[in-house]
Amino acid sequence: MNDSSDIRFLLTIRDAGSLVATARKLGISPSTVTQRLQQIERKLDTRLVDRTARRLRFTEEGTQLCQRGAELVQELDTLFEDLRARRAGLVGTVRIRAPLGFGRRYLASVVSGFQQDNPNVDIELTLTDQPLTETAERYDIVVHIGELPASNLIGYAIAPNARLVCASPAFLKRFPNPETPDDLAHLPCIVLRENNEDVSLWQFHKGRTARSVRVSSKLSCNDGEVIRRWACEGRGVILRSEWDVADDVAKGNLVRLLPAWKAPDADVIALTSNRAGLPARTRQFMRYLQARFRPQPPWRS
């Protein structure tokens, strides 16, 4: 196989998930898809895809070809895009995946500003409550907040972000202000479901002293804006990112609890699948993104 179009064709099958979906995506007939796949397999004298009427599965050889081939195609695209960029500025598409709330409040304006400055760049922004999934590697940049689980992705620091325990003034008129993290176990709490984490186990430390407390919750949601609104309405205690609650704390809508105890930080980072070979447009967007949150992020300004 010496034609990158064959690799791109196989990657399209992988991403589409079926030969019929591949045909729709490419605007050709399913029989044409099947015939081209058979031609590639004959050239390599290797079966790449096991297909039946109900399912499609890449063989070990097909999977390896897609993994290595995707890297080679990206390097080739990067080479040509960098050459074009020397003449016409940044071109191509940047695919970004990010958390819902942070994406709406802060990232959307960054994306808009970058695209306006670079009109030949297309940006596809996808917001989700689970930015880190197995499909994350199909994006150029994944924005993540918090501790990074084991991953092959490469991280770039964007902004510091603490996590604060908060409740509304109205809530604190009905319930005692907690003095230690253990007191939270006896208070109504609201939890945010995200990233498949154990969301009701809250951890703190003060100096060398560490505490873990299992909170009880009658309200939970996968959208941080919703739990922040519930907290402002006096429905319970939340453990939430500084970027989300700093304004409400400053305005008095929320009160920070347990200021002497620190929850684990949840810094904002950007992830890419490779450190080397990134297209010029991706590198420039990363620099633009980092610059927008320096020297201090807006929630600390």
Residue pLDDT, tens place only, 214-270: 999 999 998 899 999 999 999 999 999 999 999 999 999 999 999 999 999 999 999
pLDDT (tens digit, 9 = 90+) per residue, 87-131? 556 788 999 999 999 999 999 999 999 999 999 899 999 998 777
CATH class of 163-257: alpha beta
Asked if 134 contacts 270 with a C-beta cutoff of 8 angstroms, the reply is: no
Q: Spell out the long-range contacts of 285-288 with Cβ–Cβ below 8 A and sequence spacing 24 or more.
A: 285/94, 285/96, 285/114, 285/121, 285/123, 285/141, 286/141, 286/156, 288/110, 288/113, 288/114, 288/117
Confidence of residue 293 (pLDDT cuts 50, 70, 90): very high
User: Residue 81 pLDDT > 80, yes or no?
Assistant: no
Do the bridges between strand 154-159 and strand 268-272 make them parallel or antiparallel, or are there none, so unpaired?
antiparallel
What pLDDT sits at residue 54?
A: 65
Taken in order 142, 127, 67, 115, is the CA torsion positive or negative? negative
Q: What is the CATH number of domain 89-161+267-300?
A: 3.40.190.10
Q: Tell me: pLDDT of 53 over 60.
A: no
Encode pLDDT of 139-188 as tens digits: 899 999 988 776 778 889 999 999 999 999 999 999 999 999 999 999 99
Q: What is the pTM of this model?
A: 0.70
**Of 2, 10, 32, nearest to 20 (Cα)?**
32
CB atoms within 10 A of CB 234: 16
How far is residue 295 from each of residues 156, 159, 292, measured CA to CA in Å? 16, 9, 9
What pLDDT score does 7 carry? 87
43 has pLDDT over 70: yes
Please report, for the chain, the start and end positions of each structural domain, with discontinuous segments joined by +: 4-81, 89-161+267-300, 163-257
Asked if the domains 4-81 and 163-257 are classified in one and the same CATH topology, the answer is no
| CATH fold group of domain 4-81 | Arc Repressor Mutant, subunit A (1.10.10)
